[in-house]
Structure 1
């Protein structure tokens, strides 16, 4: 009886083992198939494009003529004849200083002139008749010239009491008003008159930027290079571009040892006087990149400070590419190295794969990825 039961159990156990083994083999095969399944991801081909980027520098604005107006004599302001922002002509009266004491001095000086003239007139006939020597007459004449000189000096000071504009332009701030005592030694001028029909924009580059800029500009001499500098753009303090384009006029061509920078001056027409002395802005110099490979920013990700993209290898595997850039223009990287025109890279989701990941590339148009994302809110 026991032997019969044993004979039944052995085939049953063998059947269970075979069934279990087949199940494990099937499960393992399915897992491997899933592991080898390629990921469907959009890819793009890297093109070559010609783009214009900009280097930006803080700039300060001044009128091409910016003249401080100062009193030549000391005195109290009796009248302010113009208002801030007024357009004035060269020689136009701006301030009037009190001249009462000067007028009194002038009257006394004129009296001295008259007295000296009377003395000369009195001595002339006496000398002619030989009654007195010519020395006395010459002495009287010298005293007359001295009296005239004194009077003319006081008269000049009276004329200086009317402070006039040294140039054509626009009146700036007026810190002094009626009753203020002013003089030639004051550190603050009475006002500033600026010619802002054209304005200067002053900016600086560091030594490295200067050398790169100069070396990339055509021309054998510095003057030739300045003439070949591209037109520049001024962005005003409100973030808007100024409508007039500017031209770089001068370069110091000398590195300031204190700041390590080289100074530049650009000039802009200012027909509507929109900008004036003291304005600030950002000066933009265009840089053209011809036939360069470009990569959309959103096709890359950063890893430990490096810009990473995934190329698609010939066998459709994800291959890490570290991208070295020359510039960022809009939402594109201008590529120095790492990828080249014609390479295929993962367009989106590059940060979700790993090196060697099997891919099923879904090629999409470059512009569909490179197109800037519109802002819905500001």
Structure 2
């Protein structure tokens, strides 16, 4: 009986050993994974910046005189042309002031004419030695005073005429009107805190955003001695609030020459055409700036895995998966990495499922290629 138990144990041990050997043999068989041979190429990555949108002209309309609004000539949000009447301020007191000033001019003209006749007569009498130098000089002084009063009256008339013209407030630019916080009958003056209305030109819109000094240098790259660096900057795109890309591409047209001492940011302005009027002053959007990278290796993110904020791939060396750390560019398009170091042209890597592999796994399979711009 005891011998039978020993035999059974021997058989079981032999079976376990055979099973273990069979499993090890199976583990040594290559696992099928897609692989790719890396090569040098170029890619374009993107960085996004929050931006505020303004028209290339944004004008606050304020009165130049005091008075009651008697008429509002436009609707809120209306498209208006340069010279379009916007508001009319009570004209009655200014018409009266102009009439008074015009009458003063006529009175001064009459006094000048009288003083000139007197001075002419005195000169004739002086030539005949009828009057003294004093009387002649007095007459000439009276003429000069009358002419000065006429000039002052004419200036007052011009000022009154200008004030009357200011009662019709016109748009200085083509654009779109904002909201109107005042109603007919409101008393306004040049020192009002809130403008009568704002008019913004919408044919061309500016997107204002900020970047760090390092980001600006990455964007600019190597300066061109023949042209300014702004001319060499790439076209940018605009992502609207609904997440969609704006149809028109923009161009960086200005870069601030001053860096904010507190934030280290540099202000940038990009210009976008706005033929359909979809962009509005005061709105927010996201400027998408492309970064073109030449002479780099581009691999799919599926070919990588991360450990403690480090990125690794599996190279296929002599048919065996061998881990290797890589340094990807800090930007990516969500599906690919631009590799700055860790791989050389001609290396074969596992293209998919790297996170499921283990060091030393035998690899076999077809090839795959990274898809990039």
Residue 297 of structure 2 is aligned to residue 305 of structure 1: no
Change (3 A) 1:115 1:36: same
The answer for the alignment partner of 1:230 in structure 2 is: 234
The answer for the alignment partner of 1:91 in structure 2 is: 83
Aligned partners of 1:120, 1:315: CA distance in 2, in Å? 113
Change (3 A) 1:366 1:136: same
Normalising by structure 1, report the TM-score.
Answer: 0.81
SS state at 1:366 partner = coil
Structure 2: stretches of 5+ with no match in the other structure: 123-130
Aligned partners of 1:125, 1:292: CA distance in 2, in Å? 95
Pairwise mapping of residues 208-287 of structure 1 onto structure 2 (< 5 A)?
Answer: 208-214=214-220, 216-220=221-225, 223-287=227-291
Pairwise mapping of residues 43-122 of structure 1 onto structure 2 (< 5 A)?
Answer: 43-48=34-39, 49-122=41-114
Pairwise mapping of residues 140-219 of structure 1 onto structure 2 (< 5 A)?
Answer: 140-214=146-220, 216-219=221-224
SS state at 2:201 partner = strand
Aligned partners of 1:127, 1:309: CA distance in 2, in Å? 107
Change (3 A) 1:176 1:26: same
The answer for the alignment partner of 2:368 in structure 1 is: 366
CA contact (8 A) 1:86 1:171 kept: yes
Aligned partners of 2:102, 2:333: CA distance in 1, in Å? 77
Q: CA deviation at 1:97?
A: 0.6
SS state at 2:219 partner = helix
Aligned partners of 2:34, 2:147: CA distance in 1, in Å? 104
Q: CA deviation at 1:324?
A: 2.2
- Alpha-carbon RMSD across the aligned residues, in angstroms, is 3.0
SS state at 1:254 partner = strand
Aligned partners of 1:117, 1:294: CA distance in 2, in Å? 88
Aligned partners of 1:117, 1:291: CA distance in 2, in Å? 85
Change (3 A) 1:201 1:217: farther
Change (3 A) 1:51 1:124: closer
CA contact (8 A) 2:316 2:322 kept: yes
CA contact (8 A) 2:33 2:365 kept: yes
SS state at 2:359 partner = coil
The answer for the alignment partner of 2:294 in structure 1 is: 290
Aligned partners of 2:172, 2:257: CA distance in 1, in Å? 32
Aligned partners of 2:93, 2:335: CA distance in 1, in Å? 73
The answer for the alignment partner of 1:324 in structure 2 is: 327
Q: CA deviation at 1:105?
A: 3.0
SS state at 2:148 partner = helix
SS state at 2:190 partner = coil
SS state at 1:28 partner = helix
Higher alpha-carbon deviation: 42-51 or 227-236: 42-51
CA contact (8 A) 1:45 1:342 kept: no
The answer for the alignment partner of 1:40 in structure 2 is: 31
CA contact (8 A) 1:217 1:229 kept: no
Q: CA deviation at 1:337?
A: 2.8
1:78-134 Cα shifts (integer Å, max 9, x gaps): 111122333333333221111222233333334444444444455555555559841
Aligned partners of 1:136, 1:348: CA distance in 2, in Å? 104
Change (3 A) 1:27 1:157: same
CA contact (8 A) 1:54 1:284 kept: yes
CA contact (8 A) 2:300 2:335 kept: yes
CA contact (8 A) 1:45 1:341 kept: no
